[in-house]
Chain A
Amino acid sequence: MSANAAWRLEDFVDSLVVELDKTRETLAVKAINKPLSYSVKEVALDVNAFPSYDGERVRFLTAQPGEEGASKLTIQLGSITDQQVRASTKLREGEPTPSIEELGVDDETRKELRRIGVRSVDDLEALEAKKVDLKAVSDVDLDYGQLARKIQKARRARSAPTIDGMSLSTSDGEPCLLVEGRNLSVDPTFPPVVVVDDALAEVLSSGPGHLSIRVDPGSPLHADSQIVLTLDPYAVVKVNVRA
């Protein structure tokens, strides 16, 4: 053997699980030709290894001949059938939530969240629902309010607004600018705010697919108008319109 490399426990266990699954497949094939075969109910592996911590993760280096003082890891895998997995797995509804990597938090916060087992927004929301005081269990100053804003920002980034087209139209006999697209006004608690050439414009109606903006007859769109659409606190779109 050569090049002894350090490994993470979860990768090691993943590999062991895969090997156990393949073993079951091998035995199942063997059972076709032989009337009796084995079913593996349990596999336990004792591994002599040296743990090391690099400040972020714990890795293990397999003990080599002549090395003394290794720790012994015992990994025990029981047997579970596909049916049992299906019966005991709670499916999450809707879209998968952003991982903490998508939240845009600083490295220290991300590491601290990972350290306390938070890997996704789902995990964070579960902690908040149970009123867990993050400051009490972590070293950094974590605040649910700040995190909630980052979560909303990450979710908005996943459904960013897209403008497909703009056209002039009329509403109740008055000229209006119709903006069509996707994911435009998606926050029912935040009515969009539109500024046309540095002047606040009235939004007549809004929805995910459209925005209808009243055009002031006294100051119509000119050759190179600038329109700023603030759809919600995390989505601001600036467009130049040529009338």
Chain B
Amino acid sequence: MTAHETSRPLDEAFLPLHELVPLLLPDLPDLVDEEAGVRSSVVGCDVTTPVELDVVVDEHGQVTLGGTPPLYHFATSTLPVFHSVRLVAVREAAPP
């Protein structure tokens, strides 16, 4: 088995990206100041964060991506590799 023919499940410490990405988006209620008559809401966000990645390649070359925010916050002699993900999301009303 060569380096590109390996297959294994995603590391359990990592989430599939489609589960990780929604978790990176702020889920905040609207800020309401009834006295002032002002309502504020988040209308969009631009998130850039370091991530650790688990890249799994099956025997057909198909790639599965897993990611997690940095797992440990200890200074160690060998640091994990931090990749980076940037998300641009806008908040929009659900269709009626």
Contact = CB atoms under 8 A, between A and B. Distances in A.
B62 A15 contact: yes
B18 A19 contact: yes
Given A1-B54, A23-B21, A66-B78, A12 B4 contact: no
A19 B17 contact: yes
Centre residue among A3, A37, A38, A39 by max chain B CB count within 10 A: A38
Contacts of A48: 81-83
B83 A15 contact: no
Interface of A: 1-8, 11-12, 14-16, 19-23, 25-27, 30-32, 34-48, 59, 61-67, 70
Main secondary structure of the interface of A (DSSP, over half): mixed
Interface in B31-84: 41, 45, 53-57, 61-65, 78-84
Given A11-B62, A15-B65, A26-B18, A5 B94 contact: no
A90 to B, nearest CB: 28
A141 B41 CA distance: 64
Given A20-B18, A27-B22, A42 B86 contact: yes
Interface residues of B, number: 43
Contacts of B56: 5
B90 A39 contact: yes
Contact of A37 (B19, B41, B64, B91): B91
A6 B91 CA distance: 37
A23 to B, nearest CB: 4
17 contacts: A4-B55, A5-B55, A6-B3, A7-B61, A11-B57, A19-B17, A37-B92, A43-B85, A43-B86, A46-B83, A46-B84, A47-B53, A48-B83, A59-B4, A65-B79, A65-B81, A67-B81
